[in-house]
Structure 1
Amino acid sequence: MASEEASLRALESLMTEFFHNCTTNERKREIEELLNNFAQQIGAWRFCLYFLSSTRNDYVMMYSLTVFENLINKMWLGVPSQDKMEIRSCLPKLLLAHHKTLPYFIRNKLCKVIVDIGRQDWPMFYHDFFTNILQLIQSPVTTPLGLIMLKTTSEELACPREDLSVARKEELRKLLLDQVQTVLGLLTGILESIWDKHSVTAATPPPSPSSGESGGDLLSSLLQSPSAAKLLNQPIPILDSESEYICSLALECLAHLFSWIPLSTSITPSLLTTIFHFARFGCDTRARKMSSVNGSSQNSVLGQERGRLGILAMSCINELMSKNCVPMEFEEYLLRMFQQTFYLLQKITKENNAHTVKSRLEELDESYIEKFTDFLRLFVSVHLRRIESYSQFPVVEFLALLFKYTFHQPTHEGYFSCLDIWTLFLDYLTSKIKSRLADKEAVLNRYEDALVLLLTEVLNRIQFRYNQAQLEELDDETLDDDQQTEWQRYLRQSLEVVAKVMELLPTHAFSTLFPVLQDNLEVYLGLQQFVVTSGTGHRLNITAENDCRRLHCSLRDLSSLLQAVGRLAEYFIGDVFAARFNDALTVVERLVKVTLYGSQIKLYNIETAVPSVLKPDLIDVHAQSLAALQAYSHWLAQFYSEVHRQNPEQFISLVSTALEAITPLISSKVQEKLLLSACHLLVSLATTVRPVFLIRIPAVQKVFNRITDTSAQRLPDKAQVLVCRALSNVLLLPWPNLPESEQQWAVRSTNHASLISALTREYRHLKSSAILPQRKVRLEDTKVIIHQTLSVLEDIVESISGESTKSRQICYQSLQESVQVSLALFPAFIHQSDVTDEMLSFFLTLFQGLRVQMGVPFTEQIIQTFLNMFTREQLAESILHEGSTGCRVVEKFLKILQVVVQEPGQVFKPFLPSIISLCMEQVYPIIAERSSPDVKAELFELLFRVLHHNWRYFFKSSVLASVQRGMAEEQMENEAQFSAIMQAFGQSFLQPDIHLFKQNLFYLETLNTKQKLYHKKIFRTTMLFQFVNVLLQVLVHKSHDLLQEEIGIAIYNMASVDFDSFYSAFLTEFLASCDGVDSNQKNVLGRNFKMDRDLPSFTQNVHRLVNDLRYYRLCNDSLPPGTVKL
């Protein structure tokens, strides 16, 4: 005993030293090593048992339990059975003796260690494991302990980690399922008895009718039975802390059980009703009030605990709700659950003299509200379609409650979550109407009032006029992961709801929105009378603080409403164009008027009393009016095609006025936000609407002159690119509604050539000087010219790449000289990776859009130039020494080659050998060993395209020959290159990059689907099982666990080429080569792999093999040295 006592003292002092803040990391490592060595000794557990029963030091107890945990989970197989019996008997006794005095985290850890033993030994060697838990629960003194054991058992046995064989996992689940009915009965009994016991003694008088706690008509319609309503209206009992604690443990157990047991009649109505009783704790504001009135900390803790019971009960309900698969016999239970939850919803949204709904929601626990919102989301997304058909479920009344709940949320996040629920509901309604067009009107009539109310309220919520206090709180500066501010997210989510209602009820939605827009427009258009001329320019003569504040709110609202009107543009085109023509025309006329007004009185340049606030507001309204008008460009295009023959005056007037509004803004002096909105509108008019008269409008000619005038100040990059795209498209895109003979291609071609010539003048002059060595200053200037010119040209090519042949021909004619200049400049800048990057971007766009127009000889010249320039040294320099820009250069070069190898026909086939050799002999060796994913994805895509589009380069046979020769093997050519490519794919599966793994697995599977890769003789005989082996090893090592399913399917597709060989040869070889398992275990693994040939069974077998192989290795690793296994 003395040695145990001494060891304990030593351990206590080591632990104290370890956690002391003066101990160095070096010393901590020494202590850690000492403790680990101690734990590894055979028989260390005996000391730990003594430590546990003899110490009060938390660290020592925790260490001792960790030793047990390690022993049970990793070394149990090698522990003598006598020792196991002793441990199984001592630890539960220890727990029973000390559970009341142990710190909760030590007690929980001890419970887990005992459950771990059960996980290994129940029922064979530890037959009373579960019976003991049930007895603990049934004995009042140990109920809490029993519940903790039960929850731990559910966590550890129902969804065990992978350190068990599949057969044991299945056995445990079955054993637990057999106990579910008993366990649920026990838990129901505990909760019911506590509730009933405290209900009887609660001497609270029933609430008076005025206090608003009474049922109301909706309740009886929801619950159908007066007795249930009466039951739910009883006052909530006041529980002592012990009962509170037991109830919270019971509810935690239920929540975990519900996460894995199937819905069945074991979940009885009385259990559900009891859970709902407890859910009421969350909506009981009186409990929290009492605690704040009495002020004592004990009472306030009690209030929080009661709230927590409500949260736990809602967690149970949500676990049941989230199950999509509902057996027929359970549907009635679900209906009852919904009825009871909506009783709760009514309760927390009830107004009375003392409370508004919002103040009531503010008093409830935030987590409870979150759980409740989750419930509503699950109800709408999973069960509404099921429940809506029940006549006894009043959906419209439910929507009324959801409406109150949504618009009284105390937090923005809560409101966002509720808007999501409405979006789900609107999607449900839209798809329901599309599938049942016959009774569309009946469905819409049922919900019309609710939808109109929703629309009006959402619109009010985005307006400062009604909701200033809340909107001012939203941050409009910090960007989130989606690159939007909190205010933008708020507005966007709200407008999505507006748009969805518009889709269902276009007329209502329009008549609700347009008058509101009109009101704010009046204010904006009325500002002209307050503009006065001052010494420095124009000034807005509104100075009173209150007036400025009101103007600020009105402008913010106008900006939001303009976005709303823009968002609805899609609901005026297509089939409904004629029916909704007048509404759309009214909108577009207003928008054109507003944009012109803004540009004419130059509100964006005006002086204001509060420049930091009002100036951005005025700029924003102007920009949003242009953006809203841009949203109607598809409507304008349809208007043009429908009226161009008979009455085009109205259309011409709209377009001309819009251009008058745009032109003054295309200037480097205008704020960028406004300038870009004007440019985008110009691009849409030129690209989407394409009126024939655009080029003749003076405003457009003015823009042409400004852009081609070299003395004028250049616009910022983005704007310059957009304006050039618009002008190029005016000349290149075919006019709608006109035959080819009236397209005036000759004139347009000449004009386009002179436009491009003016835009590239400086760039083309670089050709003569490019050969000379560049001075530093000159080099920077040259780079600027290259950047500015290529960004414009690349954009012009990209915008017409999908257009007619004629447009692309004219485009290439105009660009031809610049393209040749680019090719001549390329070698001079090969060491400037930023310039090479832009040049290759330009060439990539040319190859994607204008390859046919460039013609074969010139294309060959470009490819040859690139292949000559990208020597191995140059590639290495780019990839290894120039960082991300250098890698981008190589990636773009590989992308160009991807376009080349995909080209049908024989034209570029002569390049294949040099492209493959570049990939395999130059690029691949540089990147193969690098852990960085740079360049790899593009290289493997290129290799995939080489195979996919040039299969005949490797496999010669024609379809005819293979039919004639039955299944005779086709000729194989370029075998060495094919093998090298396949080997590279195989190597990529041994690397950690999961994205590359997924991409390459997909490529192999595609080649198999399209070209039967796995069936080819060379693959089947020399590579097939190497690949299967690598994929199985990846599963065993768990390095790419997210792709388990994809890997399983790929293994099946490979094995299915030759199942006989897979089962007779490969599987045996694979198991033979596995280390860490003995021959008996290998035999068991082989026997358990059934010879199934269907995909689901086969992949299940694969995952079983992998799991059990890992399990055996784990067991074997943990056996003490020298163990003899029988």
Structure 2
Amino acid sequence: MSTVEVLLHEFYQPTTSNARKREIETNLLAFKSQPEAWQLCLRVATAGNSFTDNQFLWFFSTSTLEHTITRRWAQLTPSDRAQLRETLWNTYAQLGMLNGARRHRDTLAQLIALMGKREFPEQDPNYMQHCMELTKTRFALGINLLRVTSEEVVSNRGDLTTEWKQYFYSCISMCIPDVMDLVTKYLLIAVCHINGKDIQSTIPNTLMDFSLTSALPNDNQLSSSILELLGCVQHLVSWIRTELISEYFLMSILDLSQWRPANEPISLAALSVLNELLYLQKPLPYAGTLMGGVSSLLEQHNVNKQQSEMYSDKLRELLRLYTTKYAGKLMQEPEVLETFLNQLYGCTTELHGALDFTEKLDIWSPIIKAIAQQPAKITRFNQVFTQLVDEIMRRTQFEANKPELEVLDNELMEDDTPTTEWQQFLDQCFECLALLASTRGAHIVFAQVFAHWSRPQMYLMSLEHALDHGSSRSYEAARKLKHANVGEILRDFATVCQAVVRLAPLMDTSTAAPGVADEMEAQLQMLSDSLCRRCSFWPAIASEEQIWTRPPFRLIWITSATKKEGLRDDLDDIDENDVGAKRRLALLDAMVEMAKNPDIEWNEKDIIDEVNTIMFEGHDTTSAGSSFALCMMGIHKDIQEKVFAEQKAIFGDNMLRDCTFADTNEMKYLERVILETLRLYPPVPLIARRLDYDLKLASGPYTVPKGTTVIVLQYCVHRRADIYPNPTKFDPDNFLPERMANRHYYSFIPFSAGPRSCVGRKYAMLKLKVLLSTIVRNYIVHSTDTEADFKLQADIILKLENGFNISLEKRKYATVA
């Protein structure tokens, strides 16, 4: 092993060349394949201080043991297997708090679980019993081993036959009732500790083995122990039969999910368990208990205004999943639904940003649709729906909600961008209005929306009147223009107009009461006439006019081109003066025109080079980005399941059809997964820029002189702890809209930024969505590596030195799309 130690030391020296590293790797791989290598490595892996003395050697030794178990297991004799099993078990069971670092512990647990997968129940029939017994004496070690074993149950490494994997799955499943009984008891103990209650007086004797309390004491390790427990539980519920979930189990998870400032990580972990349950595509037991618990969590959220952003994010995800899954059951309990909707309305009206508001509107959608199928029950919920319509309109108006609206981007990032952030916000709000209109009656919702038209309309009329009456009124008009933000008033006016345009096609005068139909027609006609006057009066401000005709209605949709103040995008300063005519030429047209200009040195070869760059430069970056994304989904199976659940919601029963552009717009969670992958593993890890002027740094009294080449490391920027909490953790929620709104625009630059940013970033995101969607719908992705195994190779494109070690398992229904 001394020779191996020397080679490893040389390998990790920064001065070692790549050629020498490849030579060393060849020697190390040859050593791993030697028949007796595992025995030498076993001594290193289980020695007392080897992990702290030389981690490189320790990890190489455990890697060799993993290679032996997964690749050479059949070549070991029964005595060799027994020696390997007993030595690892004894070492693991004796790990102490000081020398039991998490990575050390998890690696040993992984090796034990790999052996258990091959020996249980034939050669090691007591494997699961030993795991459960270990939790009673060394709780953290035992519960960790149960979690790792659970991961192996659903793991699809290619080192075992499908028949044996299914056999192992069925054998472990037979033990799960005992495992669930054990973890439920520990959950009950955890609830008592967290709430400061006496265990013996709180939990009935028939439910509890009080000897277990010694394994989970109320000491300074309680929080970390409960987190270990919840991590194990979250993985178990992702695959076990849901009928094994007891009511006490569910009640315990709901209790631990409550917001407790002193135990926020526990609250977040418990919410993750609930979300995992709701992601399952199968019914859950004890619906009444779950419904009551979710209502209690929502009520607590409305009362306690100090909850963290991460907790609010998790709770919002829970509510969205809950209403999607339980809308039908809520309809069977009108009183419960009425209470829940009132609480949900209180939550929706909280001011946490415009994008947070639209995500909360998504929570309403399944319930509104369910009520629409039972119109006889709508009367009971009229009041809260009326309030919701008014709240939607209020939140879209600058007059009432300027702080939230002014940070929304109202500029197109690129020519091919279908909509702005501002317009996307409005569209989501109006779709909810349309859904409410189809449920309550379009004429009722239209009347509410129409009521918001009068304020901006009256202001514009008064301003027009002042200007129409010449100098006698010019002072009044000037005062109005000086003291009012005309751009905001116009945008409020345009917003109401768009809302009306969205609702008008839903109104059927043939089914409305005669008086109501006449009133709606009169209102629409008056609005149409007024809009025509406004458009002719403000020709320089109205940037887009679109005639919408539907007898007997005629409306004009005006979208304001007023630029926002506040956080700006790097392309905001491009002024296209766009009034309907296209001012900029397409790229190829522009280059052809340049080639015709005698004053510009530009020829056909230059055009070919530029086109080739646009067409082909994105292939390596896209392939690297998609490969890293597949690796991350293979490693984080819970995230992969959420991506698949989103695909299922989009594609329904036709999972094999082609992906459309409209489909990609619905892939919100997949987009967050892609962005988080690009954050941690940007395909272009660094960029270089030459300064055209002296640059004074904001970070200190330093000036970088003109002409200097500056290197910007996206890889490092994306891992700054002051920008991204827990920056090395793969967490797609980093790209929730409200979190992105609180970060500087240049905190995420996988496509560079500024005038030289990647012109194909939208196309790249579209390609990644289509590619990954197709793969996830057709295959289950597995990764044989963890992130700790990654050896990054930073060339022009960021790669893995040993390639992307993933495998694809075809889904049962799937054929390649």
Query: Which TM-score tier does this pair reach, normalised by the shorter chain?
Result: 0.5 to 0.7
CA distance in 1, matches of 2:253, 2:528: 60
The equivalent residue for 2:551 is 635
The equivalent residue for 1:512 is 448
Which residue identity is paired with 1:91?
L
Alignment partner for residue 527 of structure 1, among 439, 446, 463? 463
Question: Is 2:147–2:231's contact at 8 Å kept on the other side of the alignment?
Answer: yes
Which residue identity is paired with 1:123?
P
The equivalent residue for 1:1022 is none
CA distance in 1, matches of 2:474, 2:426: 31
Give the Å deviation of 1:539.
9.2
Which residue identity is paired with 1:509?
V
CA distance in 1, matches of 2:578, 2:368: 34
- 1:74 has 2:53 as partner: no
The equivalent residue for 1:428 is 370
Which residue identity is paired with 1:635?
P
Q: What SS does the aligned partner of 2:121 have? A: coil
- 1:192 has 2:188 as partner: yes
What per-residue deviation string (whole Å, max 9, x for no partner) do you get for residues 550-582 of structure 1?
433322211111111111121235744885543
Question: Is 1:255–1:316's contact at 8 Å kept on the other side of the alignment?
Answer: yes
Alignment of 1:911-922 (within 5 A): none
Question: Is 1:451–1:501's contact at 8 Å kept on the other side of the alignment?
Answer: yes
Change (3 A) 1:109 1:543: farther
- 1:40 has 2:33 as partner: yes
The equivalent residue for 1:382 is 325
Alignment of 1:162-241 (within 5 A): 162-197=158-193, 199-200=195-196, 240-241=219-220
The equivalent residue for 1:278 is 256
Alignment partner for residue 370 of structure 1, among 297, 313, 319? 313
CA distance in 2, matches of 1:1039, 1:126: 29
Alignment partner for residue 29 of structure 1, among 5, 22, 28? 22
- 1:444 has 2:381 as partner: no
Which residue identity is paired with 2:136?
Q
Alignment partner for residue 404 of structure 2, among 467, 470, 479? 470
Question: Is 2:131–2:145's contact at 8 Å kept on the other side of the alignment?
Answer: yes
Question: Is 1:18–1:31's contact at 8 Å kept on the other side of the alignment?
Answer: yes
CA distance in 2, matches of 1:83, 1:1041: 32
Give the Å deviation of 1:97.
3.0
Which residue identity is paired with 1:279?
S
Alignment partner for residue 338 of structure 2, among 396, 407, 413? 396
The equivalent residue for 1:223 is none
* Identity over aligned pairs, percent: 21
- 1:619 has 2:619 as partner: no
Alignment partner for residue 50 of structure 1, among 43, 60, 63? 43
The equivalent residue for 1:242 is 221
CA distance in 2, matches of 1:319, 1:594: 52
Alignment partner for residue 132 of structure 2, among 131, 134, 137? 134
- 1:554 has 2:496 as partner: no
Give the Å deviation of 1:546.
8.8
Which residue identity is paired with 2:327?
L
Change (3 A) 1:103 1:717: closer
Question: Is 1:502–1:509's contact at 8 Å kept on the other side of the alignment?
Answer: yes
Change (3 A) 1:200 1:310: closer
The equivalent residue for 1:335 is 288
TM-score (norm. length: structure 1): 0.47
Give the Å deviation of 1:375.
1.9
Alignment of 1:958-969 (within 5 A): none
CA distance in 1, matches of 2:513, 2:195: 67
Q: What SS does the aligned partner of 1:568 have? A: helix
Give the Å deviation of 1:521.
0.9
Which residue identity is paired with 1:187?
V
Give the Å deviation of 1:136.
0.6
The equivalent residue for 1:87 is 84
- 1:405 has 2:347 as partner: yes
Aligned residues: 576
Alignment partner for residue 93 of structure 2, among 86, 91, 96? 96
The equivalent residue for 1:1059 is none
Q: What SS does the aligned partner of 2:452 have? A: helix
CA distance in 2, matches of 1:197, 1:600: 71
Change (3 A) 1:482 1:383: farther
Give the Å deviation of 1:449.
0.8
Question: Is 2:463–2:477's contact at 8 Å kept on the other side of the alignment?
Answer: no
Change (3 A) 1:161 1:131: same
What per-residue deviation string (whole Å, max 9, x for no partner) do you get for residues 616-640 of structure 1?
xx325xx4xx43xx33x1234xx7x
Change (3 A) 1:29 1:411: farther
Change (3 A) 1:460 1:527: same
CA distance in 1, matches of 2:455, 2:813: 58
Change (3 A) 1:252 1:66: same
Which residue identity is paired with 2:253?
I
Change (3 A) 1:1039 1:108: closer
Question: Is 1:158–1:176's contact at 8 Å kept on the other side of the alignment?
Answer: no
Question: Is 1:349–1:404's contact at 8 Å kept on the other side of the alignment?
Answer: yes
Which residue identity is paired with 1:634?
R
Q: CA RMSD for the aligned pairs?
A: 4.1
Give the Å deviation of 1:422.
1.4
Alignment partner for residue 582 of structure 1, among 505, 510, 518? 518
Give the Å deviation of 1:884.
7.5
The equivalent residue for 2:633 is none
The equivalent residue for 2:266 is 309
- 1:325 has 2:282 as partner: yes
Q: What SS does the aligned partner of 1:604 have? A: coil
Question: Is 2:272–2:314's contact at 8 Å kept on the other side of the alignment?
Answer: yes
Question: Is 2:355–2:425's contact at 8 Å kept on the other side of the alignment?
Answer: no
Q: What SS does the aligned partner of 1:35 have? A: helix
What per-residue deviation string (whole Å, max 9, x for no partner) do you get for residues 1057-1091 of structure 1?
xxxxxxxxxxxxxxxxxxxxxxxxxxxxxxxxxxx
CA distance in 1, matches of 2:368, 2:194: 44
Q: Which has the higher strand share?
A: 2
Give the Å deviation of 1:94.
1.8
CA distance in 1, matches of 2:276, 2:35: 44
Give the Å deviation of 1:409.
5.3
Which residue identity is paired with 2:405?
L
Q: What SS does the aligned partner of 2:256 have? A: helix
Change (3 A) 1:84 1:413: farther
Give the Å deviation of 1:310.
0.8
CA distance in 2, matches of 1:593, 1:243: 69
Which residue identity is paired with 1:315?
S
CA distance in 1, matches of 2:37, 2:55: 19
- Of residues 40-49 and 548-557 in structure 1, the stretch that sits farther from structure 2 once superposed is 548-557
Question: Is 2:275–2:317's contact at 8 Å kept on the other side of the alignment?
Answer: yes
Alignment of 1:816-895 (within 5 A): none
Give the Å deviation of 1:583.
3.7
Question: Is 1:52–1:64's contact at 8 Å kept on the other side of the alignment?
Answer: yes
Give the Å deviation of 1:516.
1.3
Alignment of 1:534-573 (within 5 A): 547-573=482-508
The equivalent residue for 1:457 is 391
CA distance in 2, matches of 1:129, 1:1043: 30
TM-score (norm. length: structure 2): 0.63
What per-residue deviation string (whole Å, max 9, x for no partner) do you get for residues 1001-1042 of structure 1?
x9xxxxxxxxxxxxxxxxxxxxxxxxxxxxxxxxxx999866
Which residue identity is paired with 2:256?
F
Which residue identity is paired with 1:250?
L
Question: Is 1:569–1:635's contact at 8 Å kept on the other side of the alignment?
Answer: no
Change (3 A) 1:427 1:196: closer
- 1:414 has 2:356 as partner: yes
CA distance in 1, matches of 2:63, 2:171: 27
Q: Which has the greater radius of gyration?
A: 1
Which residue identity is paired with 2:458?
E
Question: Is 1:321–1:379's contact at 8 Å kept on the other side of the alignment?
Answer: yes
- 1:256 has 2:235 as partner: yes
Q: What SS does the aligned partner of 2:170 have? A: helix
Give the Å deviation of 1:186.
1.3
- Of residues 60-69 and 123-132 in structure 1, the stretch that sits farther from structure 2 once superposed is 123-132
Give the Å deviation of 1:251.
1.1
Change (3 A) 1:167 1:527: same
Alignment gaps of 5+ in structure 2: 199-215, 557-575, 586-591, 598-603, 617-769, 779-804
- Of residues 401-410 and 463-472 in structure 1, the stretch that sits farther from structure 2 once superposed is 401-410
